[in-house]
Amino acid sequence: MKTKTLPYKTIMYVILALLTALTLMPLLWMLSASIKTDSEVFSLVFHWFPKNPQIKNYTKIWEKIPLARFVFNSVKLTVIITAIQVLTSSFAAYGFSKCKFKGRDMLFLLYVATIAIPWQVYMLPQYSMMNKLHLVDSHLGYILMQSFTAFGVFLMRQFFMSLPNELLEAGRIDGLSEYGNYFQIALPLAKPSIATLTIFSFVTIWNDYMGPMIYFNTTENKTIQLGIKMFIAQYSAEYGLVMAASVLSLIPVLIIFLAGQKFFVQGVASSGIKG
């Protein structure tokens, strides 16, 4: 392709900068409001940066609601569910791609079929089953419900399918069992896919609203997303505080996202190509 001229590049940068600014505007607005007093938030004269930044909005919110509890719950659930998901689904994906046995593909089809079924369709029977097992309003119930999704198995299988069988054959000749092959050959090579699944699972569970809303009634059990919603309901007029709490809830995701954005891009891209 021919090289682009300087004016062309400048125009492109201007267009991109404008689009990016437009996309980030709501989030920047949230950041700006989070260090304002309430009257400044509602003021018709708008400043991106207030004269008197209210940094103490960020300390006040910890006193108003049990935010530390909510953060702890969210971290706990996210870590446990992500760990179970990565372990069991990479294990299963290996079975679905590298072990040959009767009925394997039928079984996998069952998994894939559930990806297309909206959660709303089986949310209620799932809930009443959990209710029978006395697992509603408990972290265990939520963990069990979220840990075994088809998506993880699907994503990991995509990767193992591309892993050459010769590598595993060589392992077998060297006397490795199938489990040895999985732990010593397949798993180390799957690191990028595992990173992708970890990030996706982390973001999904951290941001999940409907699941915790249905399952958790007790305040001690609630997650950060429910906590912020609760905060909004109680202090709806105090927008500065509401925004500070919202910004706070975005920080862990932002960190994970910036640290692992390469894996994000890979994950999205590979899900798209294979369709």
Partner 1 sequence: MQAKSKKQISLSRRNTLVGISFILPNFIGFFIFVLIPVIFSLALSVTEWDGFNAMKFVGFDNFVAIFKDRVFKGSIGKTAYFSIFTVFFSMCASLGLAVLLNQKLKGKAIFRCAIFFPYVASNVAVAVVWNFLFRDIGPINNFLRSIGIANPPGWTASTDWVIPALIIVNIWKNMGYFMIVYLAALQDIPSSLYEAAQIDGANSLQRFKSITLPMLTPSTFFVVMMLTINSFKVFDLVYLMTEGGPGTASTMMSQYIYNQAFISWSYGRSSAAAMVLFLIVAALTAFQFRMEKKWVSYM
Residue ranges in 107-166 that form contacts with partner 1 under rule CB under 8 A: 107, 110-111, 114, 116-129, 131, 144-145, 147-150, 153
The pair of three-digit structure tokens given for residue 21, joined into one six-digit string: 């600014």
* Binding residues for partner 1, total number by CB under 8 A: 92
Q: Does 175 bind partner 1 (CB under 8 A)?
A: no
Stretch that binds partner 1, among 29-37, 56-64, 65-73, 187-195 (CB under 8 A): 29-37
Stretch that binds partner 1, among 48-56, 106-114, 162-170, 187-195 (CB under 8 A): 106-114
The pair of three-digit structure tokens given for residue 79, joined into one six-digit string: 């870590």
State which of positions 215-274 bind partner 1 (CB under 8 A): 225, 228-229, 232, 239, 242-243, 246-247, 249-250, 253-254, 257-258, 261, 264-265, 268-273
Pick the binder of partner 1 from 91, 137, 138, 176 (CB under 8 A).
91
Decide: helix, strand or coil at residue 102: coil
| Distance, CA of 124 to CA of 77 (rounded, Å) | 21
Pick the binder of partner 1 from 159, 206, 235, 263 (CB under 8 A).
206
- Where do the DSSP E strands lie in the chain? none
Residue whose C-alpha is closest to residue 50's, from 240, 270, 236, 267: 240
Shortest distance, CB of residue 107 to partner 1, whole angstroms?
7
Which lies closer to partner 1 via its Cβ, residue 153 or residue 190?
153
Which lies closer to partner 1 via its Cβ, residue 29 or residue 58?
29
Q: Does 195 bind partner 1 (CB under 8 A)?
A: no
C-alpha R_g of the chain:
24
| Distance, CA of 272 to CA of 155 (rounded, Å) | 11
